Chains A and B, each alone.
Chain A
Amino acid sequence: MRYLLLCFCVFMSSVVRAELTIEITQGQDNPVSIAVVPFSNEAAELTEDIHGIVMADLYRSGRFAPLPAYDMLSQPHTAAEVFFNEWRAVSVEYVLIGRIANDGFGRIRTNVELFDVLRQSKILEYSADGGVLEQRDIAHAVSDAVFEKLTGMPGAFSTKIAYVSGKNEFSATSVSYNNRLMIADVDGARERQLLESSQPILSPSWSPDAKKIAYVSFEDGRPAIYIYDLATNVRQKVTAFPGLNSAPAWSPDGRYLAMVLSKSGNPDIYVLDLESRQLRQMTRHYGIDTEPSWLPDGSALVFTSDRAGQPQIYQVDMATGYEERLTFDGNYNARARVLLDGSGIVLIHRSEGYSDYHIALQNIARGTIKVLTATVLDESPTVAPNGSTVLYATRDGGRGILAAVSVDGNVKYNIPSSARDVREPAWSPYIADHKFFLKK
């Protein structure tokens, strides 16, 4: 019951702000118990629930079980007010307290302190500040700091997602299509529309500095690859060859764009040098080669090919052009994304003898495949920059939604949209500078 009530509170805090919402469907067996005590506030400009956002972030990670406020014996705001035996009594392992204030120069500052109840000591002091429009950024920065302190892994709460939302309307006489290219905070808040078209939009891909998004749009009636500059809102058409112009993927150094072109007769992987505009053909096979994804060091591309009769994942070495097959387990393996530590790939997987499409993780060294999801029409996996979570597209009650699963498969949550089909998520890299996201 406590779990349900908390779930409801967290859910409500985000539902009023965003078209996308979060619903945890499966949490970790033994989440860390943390009390996120309501922060004190002296900033008149405050319009966002910074405390609620921090609590929702930690909860959504699945690694934490935040204590409901009504179970707190006290609500301290300073270190002197923290009595460890009170928190031990309600089985809390960590206590986070915070104070929000105006810094006197129109900026909102949040100071937080994190305590280890068992060791009875303060383990983190952190402060974040920002303008009125940056309240959610402040909250996510706090979440990132707390998450990193307690898990040893950087938080990814301050990152963004790009995705496509669509609405197809079928009537007796006609079908109308509407598609939008969107970005939002990773919790679904602060959605921003980059493009709207009756023609298909596909495959958003972030530049490594998170300032640009490459994507495919049919807005001229044919597929072309574009780059959208988020700071200037200027779009640039990159390729529009005859045939497919598809699946752009930015190299880790930002200089190259891997893509799929069928201008020579069938789909092959190419790499475009964005500076020299030189195009290099990486695969030459009469089968379908598509969906390139870079290894983190840029030394090779993994891609989908049906050269063996069914889609499987292959790898091509950038220096030598040497190709090898990576997946052997299952009769449909496609759309791989490489984990940032290079240890594995997440992909769409269908097992031998089954008809369902799941997200799976393949360990590259061992070649073993682990299915992460239980839904049946899963696609478009994308990995958080800290490697903790995989976001993907699936269907829920006839609607296209985004869902997330931790790479260990233990934590799952859905991000349903209120009115439209949502698909093709792309998780941004870490963002060094959030300022340009505030521009419309």
Chain B
Amino acid sequence: MTSSKMKVLGVSLAALIAVGCSSTSTTDSQSQAEAEAAAAAAAAQAEADRRAAAEAAARAEARALEVEKNSLETVFYFAFDESALSAETRAALDAMAAYLKKTDGAIRLEGHADERGSREYNMALGERRAKAVANYLSIQGVDRSRFDIISYGEERPAMMGHSEGSWSKNRRAEVKL
């Protein structure tokens, strides 16, 4: 904004100097030059305004996307030994997919299990949960090749307790945005 104003000021100043130094015999060419300068200034102003508006719109859009991102659920919970997505999870993943389709780049999906049962079976279960999320998102139109899936099984609990209160929070898939 400031630099474009400076440009306009510069052009006007040049025109004034031209007027002061000229003789009467060159009046016609002088007025033509003034008109051209004014037109150029107007065009520059218009271009600057258009650009500024586009930048503001992009910023607003980025802000909106950021707000949208921050409003998303990124952790999805599962029943014991299950990888089926609940109705709440599906609704949350619809919003996630809508957001992801406006972005590009890799999407990391982490699968987890609670501590019960065997560790390597839980590793496989965690992978299945992360893949269930990936499958749902890809059906909603998110490019499957963007997914980076890793299972941690029961190795990275979100909560350290040893009862259902913690287990229900540890049986999860996380989308890392």
Interface residues of A (CB under 8 A from B): 168, 170, 175, 177, 200, 202-203, 218, 221-223, 243-244, 246-247, 260, 262, 266-267, 288, 290-291, 304, 306, 310-311, 332, 334-335, 348, 350, 357, 377, 379-380, 395, 398, 423-424
Question: Which of B42-50, B59-67, B94-102, B110-118 participates in binding chain A?
Answer: B110-118
Contacting pair B120 A348 (CB below 8 A): no
Contacting pair A267 B118 (CB below 8 A): no
Contacting pair A288 B124 (CB below 8 A): yes
Contacting pair B115 A244 (CB below 8 A): no
Which residues of chain A are near B151, meaning CB under 8 Å?
A: 223, 244
Inter-chain CA distance A290–B126, complex, in Å, is: 13
A-B contacts, 11 of them at CB < 8 A, read A177-B155, A200-B152, A202-B155, A244-B151, A246-B123, A262-B124, A290-B121, A332-B81, A332-B117, A334-B121, A398-B162
- Looking at the complex, which one of A222, A290, A310, A423 makes contact with B120 (CB distance below 8 Å)? A290
Contacting pair A244 B124 (CB below 8 A): yes
Contacting pair A357 B117 (CB below 8 A): yes
- Looking at the complex, which one of B116, B127, B152, B158 makes contact with A267 (CB distance below 8 Å)? B127
Contacting pair B160 A379 (CB below 8 A): no
* CB of B137 closer than 8 Å to a CB of A: no
Closest to A398 in B: B162
Closest to A291 in B: B120
Closest to A348 in B: B118
Which residues of chain A are near B118, meaning CB under 8 Å?
A: 291, 304, 311, 334-335, 348, 379-380
Which residues of chain B are near A357, meaning CB under 8 Å?
A: 116-117
* CB of B128 closer than 8 Å to a CB of A: yes
**B98 CB, nearest partner CB in chain A, Å:** 27
Closest to A170 in B: B160
Which residues of chain A are near B149, meaning CB under 8 Å?
A: 243
Q: Beyond the given A262-B127, A290-B121, A380-B118, could you list 10 further A-B residue pairs with CB under 8 A, ordered by the A residue number?
A: A170-B159, A218-B155, A223-B151, A288-B125, A290-B120, A310-B81, A335-B119, A377-B116, A423-B119, A424-B119
Number of A-B residue pairs, CB cutoff 8 Å, is: 90
Contacting pair B124 A260 (CB below 8 A): yes
Inter-chain CA distance A373–B151, complex, in Å, is: 30
How many interface residues does B have (CB within 8 Å)? 25
**B134 CB, nearest partner CB in chain A, Å:** 12
Which residues of chain B are near A424, meaning CB under 8 Å?
A: 119
Inter-chain CA distance A211–B127, complex, in Å, is: 32
Say yes or no: A311-B121 contact (C-beta < 8 A), given A168-B157, A377-B116. yes
Contacting pair B81 A246 (CB below 8 A): no
* CB of B85 closer than 8 Å to a CB of A: no
Inter-chain CA distance A297–B177, complex, in Å, is: 49
Interface residues of B (CB under 8 A from A): 81, 115-121, 123-125, 127-128, 149-153, 155-160, 162
Inter-chain CA distance A175–B149, complex, in Å, is: 21
Closest to B152 in A: A200
Inter-chain CA distance A310–B81, complex, in Å, is: 8
Of the candidates B120, B123, B157, B158, the one having the most CB atoms from chain A within 10 angstroms of its own CB is B120
Which residues of chain B are near A304, meaning CB under 8 Å?
A: 118, 120-121
Contacting pair B119 A202 (CB below 8 A): yes
- Looking at the complex, which one of A202, A266, A350 makes contact with B123 (CB distance below 8 Å)? A202
Contacting pair B127 A244 (CB below 8 A): yes
Nearest first, the 6 closest Cβ-Cβ pairs linking A and B are A335-B118, A200-B155, A288-B124, A334-B118, A247-B120, A267-B124
Contacting pair B121 A291 (CB below 8 A): yes
Which residues of chain A are near B128, meaning CB under 8 Å?
A: 266, 288
**B83 CB, nearest partner CB in chain A, Å:** 10
Which residues of chain A are near B125, meaning CB under 8 Å?
A: 288
Contacting pair A290 B162 (CB below 8 A): no
Which residues of chain B are near A335, meaning CB under 8 Å?
A: 118-121
Closest to B161 in A: A398
Closest to B120 in A: A247
Inter-chain CA distance A170–B156, complex, in Å, is: 11
Which residues of chain A are near B162, meaning CB under 8 Å?
A: 377, 395, 398
Inter-chain CA distance A222–B151, complex, in Å, is: 9
Inter-chain CA distance A37–B160, complex, in Å, is: 47
Inter-chain CA distance A244–B124, complex, in Å, is: 7
Contacting pair B127 A243 (CB below 8 A): yes
Inter-chain CA distance A379–B123, complex, in Å, is: 14
Which residues of chain B are near A380, meaning CB under 8 Å?
A: 118-119
Which residues of chain B are near A243, meaning CB under 8 Å?
A: 127, 149
Inter-chain CA distance A348–B119, complex, in Å, is: 11
Inter-chain CA distance A243–B147, complex, in Å, is: 12
Closest to B155 in A: A200
**B138 CB, nearest partner CB in chain A, Å:** 14
Inter-chain CA distance A415–B118, complex, in Å, is: 20
Which residues of chain A are near B152, meaning CB under 8 Å?
A: 200, 218
Inter-chain CA distance A429–B48, complex, in Å, is: 79
**A366 CB, nearest partner CB in chain B, Å:** 24
Inter-chain CA distance A395–B160, complex, in Å, is: 13
Contacting pair A334 B156 (CB below 8 A): no
Inter-chain CA distance A288–B120, complex, in Å, is: 10
Inter-chain CA distance A266–B151, complex, in Å, is: 12
Contacting pair B120 A311 (CB below 8 A): no
**B86 CB, nearest partner CB in chain A, Å:** 19
Of the candidates B119, B127, B150, the one having the most CB atoms from chain A within 10 angstroms of its own CB is B119
